[in-house]
């Protein structure tokens, strides 16, 4: 028998209840992400992908952790690979305060070639784990 109410006879997807953070939570993975972000010193940044490599998770997972628990670390030090931020208005004030070099016509990105740390560098630094 075909599913009801959907074209082609497909049954509607049943949504599972959301996890407390809105995604499947692995507390150890969350801790690793926050620890790696805590290793980025003032004046430097890293990309979601490099943080992900150092923490052993995916880049999107890093973004989700920072969205839900980023207030405990310096979230503005994690940027897209091109140096842009998901929240330029808020990040820019932090970048300026820390002297993070900017790029782009209006300084809308971090100058990655001058400020970015890669996953290897992140695993070598001690964690300060505070914003």
Q: Read off the pLDDT of residues 46-84 as tens digits, 9 standing for 90 and up.
A: 999 999 999 999 999 999 999 999 999 999 999 999 999
Distances in whole angstroms, Cα of residue 35 to Cα of each of 26, 54, 61, 129: 14, 10, 14, 6
> Between β-strands 102-103 and 78-79, what pairing exists: parallel, antiparallel or unpaired?
unpaired
Task: Indicate the class that CATH gives domain 27-123.
Answer: mainly alpha
- What pLDDT sits at residue 10? 55
Residue 46: which H helix or E strand, with range? Answer: strand 46-47
Full-prediction pTM beyond 0.85? no
- What pLDDT sits at residue 9? 56
- pLDDT tens sequence for the chain (131 residues): 455 555 555 555 544 444 555 667 789 999 999 999 999 999 999 999 999 999 999 999 999 999 999 999 999 999 999 999 999 999 999 999 999 999 999 999 999 999 999 999 999 877 665 55
- What pLDDT sits at residue 15? 47
- What pLDDT sits at residue 126? 72
- What pLDDT sits at residue 18? 45
**Distance in angstroms (rounded) separating the CA atoms of residues 67 and 75:** 9
Question: What ranges do the domains of the chain cover?
Answer: 27-123
Q: Which two tokens stand for residue 74?
A: 């310096």
């Amino acid at each position: 028998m075909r599913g009801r109410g959907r074209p082609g006879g497909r049954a509607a997807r049943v949504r599972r209840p959301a996890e407390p953070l809105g995604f499947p939570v692995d507390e150890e993975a969350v801790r690793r992400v926050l620890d790696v972000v805590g290793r980025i010193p003032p004046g430097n940044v890293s990309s979601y992908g490099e943080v992900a490599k150092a923490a052993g998770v995916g880049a999107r997972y890093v973004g989700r952790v920072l969205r839900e628990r980023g207030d405990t670390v310096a979230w503005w030090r994690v940027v897209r690979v091109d140096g842009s931020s998901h929240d330029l208005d808020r990040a820019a004030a932090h970048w300026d305060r820390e002297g993070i070099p900017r790029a782009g016509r209006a300084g809308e990105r971090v100058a990655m070639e001058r400020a970015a740390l890669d996953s290897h560098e992140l695993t070598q630094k001690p964690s300060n784990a505070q914003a």
